[in-house]
Amino acid sequence: MDGTVGGGAQKADGGLAAALRAARRVVVLTGAGASAESGIPTFRDALTGLWERFDPARLATPEAFEADPGLVWGWYVWRREQIARCRTNPAHDAVTRLQRAVRARGGTVTVVTQNVDDLHERAGAEDVVHLHGAIAASRCSVCGAPAESEAAPETRAASDTAGPEIRTGGARIAPPACPVCGGPVRPSVVWFGEALPRGEWLRAEAAAARADLLLSVGTSSTVYPAAELPHTAARAGARIVQVNPSPTGLESIVRDDVRARAGAALPGLID
Ligand code: BV8
């Protein structure tokens, strides 16, 4: 393990700043922790309201939606409303500045996120790879036709009347019916047990396989196949940098372990 640098880093080679300035093929892999300082709870945080007795990984499954579409759809309506009220945080803004700086010197930065929010895009990042889909989009769970994400008026009324509960997380809301086949509409995210979008995965994997630096930000490195990407980059000889206040399963391949919150640490690393 290399030396340590300030800011709560567990270990980092003094050359981290130089490496970030010299890198030309960068992958930034973000997880729920990158949006935590925007007020979006991570998957490890306890859920609230009706869902507090559920493990998010148990809610984010086709089986849960099949068993109780209103419970799962209500959770996503609540999360969408939460995300719509949030703003980007300094971590998202720093990632965008890094992408612009590396591009200005002829390099590439591929932002690969496990998050289903749009905060990287709202911060100005381009060509973001969404491994797990986007919460803002919906599709029919039966025929796959794209569908409106807004709950249908009758069910929307239910959530409006349920106002405070939905704000604190706690209402079942019947999903809209598909305008094509009448099937229940679902969020266009990748649930546990579902394959990642092939094109997105191939883009992420190819970027990791040619990276000279991979920055892992705010992910517990427990969800696969996304968690495989730092290992793919390390095998390609990339420098692995981690920004996370807690240890993850990644330390053995991490050269610079910045043990800090992303919004606090990334601006100082990038600028
Ligand atoms: C699949 C969308 C196969 C929904 C999500 C090996 C290989 C392949 C698959 C598997 C495998 N082993 C197990 C599997 C199955 C499974 C899996 O990985 N399970 C885990 C739990 C063991 N994987 C799958 O099911 C994947 N599909 O493999 O399909 C297949 C192939 C062909 C055909 C059919 C099937 C699909 C996985 C995608 C699941 N969907 N999201 C939604 O969001 O509602 S994943 C979901 O979890 C989110 O995307 C979230 O991002 C992710 C959790 O990971 P993190 O982002 O890391 O979040 P977490 O809360 O865990 O950690 C937050 C971290 O932030 C912490 O470390 C914390 O310390 C840190 N933090 C907190 N605050 C801050 C901070 N860091 C910085 N700053 C802060 N301020």
Shortest-distance Cα residue to atom 34 of ligand 1: 195
All residue ranges of the chain with pLDDT < 50 are 1-7, 152-162
| d(CA 61, ligand 1 centre) in Å | 12
Give which of 10, 93, 69, 72 is closest to 266, Cα–Cα: 93
Q: How far apart are CA 14 and CA 2, in angstroms?
A: 8
What is the ipTM score, two decimals?
0.95
Q: Which residues are annotated as catalytic?
A: 132
156: buried, middle or exposed (CB in 10 Å: 19+, 13-18, 0-12)? Answer: middle
Q: How far apart are CA 171 and CA 185, in angstroms?
A: 17
Ligand 1 pocket check: which of 28, 42, 202 to mutate, most ligand atoms within 8 Å of Cβ? 42
State the binding site: 76, 79, 114-117, 140, 143, 178, 181, 218-220, 244-246, 262
State whether residue 158 is helix, strand or coil. helix
Pocket of ligand 1 (CB under 6 A): 31-33, 36-37, 42-44, 57, 60, 114-116, 132, 189-195, 218-220, 222-225, 243-246, 248, 261-263
| d(CA 133, ligand 1 centre) in Å | 12
168-191 residues labelled b (16+ CB within 10 A) or e (exposed): ebbbbbbbbbbeeeebbbbbbbbb
Give which of 56, 191, 80 is closest to 137, Cα–Cα: 80
| d(CA 113, ligand 1 centre) in Å | 10
At position 115, the amino acid (one-letter code) is N
CA distances from 238 to 21, 117, 234 (A): 14, 27, 5
Shortest-distance Cα residue to atom 62 of ligand 1: 220
Q: How far apart are CA 81 and CA 150, in angstroms?
A: 11
Ligand 1 pocket check: which of 149, 224, 257, 266 to mutate, most ligand atoms within 8 Å of Cβ? 224
What is the number of the ligand 1 atom nearest to the C-alpha of 91?
Answer: 78
| d(CA 161, ligand 1 centre) in Å | 33
**Which 8-state DSSP code applies to residue 39?**
T
The predicted pLDDT at position 1 comes to: 37
Q: What pLDDT, in 10s, does the model give residues 37-70?
A: 999 999 888 887 778 888 888 899 999 999 999 9
Kindly state the tokens that stand for 229.
Answer: 């990407």
Question: What is the Rg, in whole angstroms, of the alpha carbon atoms belonging to the chain?
Answer: 19
Ligand 1 pocket check: which of 35, 37, 43 to mutate, most ligand atoms within 8 Å of Cβ? 43
Shortest-distance Cα residue to atom 12 of ligand 1: 224
**Residue 247, preceding peptide bond in cis (omega within 30° of 0):** no
At position 116, the amino acid (one-letter code) is V
Q: How far apart are CA 259 and CA 11, in angstroms?
A: 9
Q: Evaluate if pTM is beyond 0.90.
A: yes
Kindly state the tokens that stand for 148.
Answer: 């409106």
Q: How far apart are CA 38 and CA 15, in angstroms?
A: 30
Kindly state the tokens that stand for 204.
Answer: 């992420």
Cβ-contact 50, 141 below 8 angstroms = no
Cβ-contact 129, 108 below 8 angstroms = no
State whether residue 189 is helix, strand or coil. strand
CA distances from 10 to 2, 16, 122, 158, 169 (A): 9, 13, 31, 49, 36
Shortest-distance Cα residue to atom 19 of ligand 1: 223
Cβ-contact 217, 30 below 8 angstroms = yes
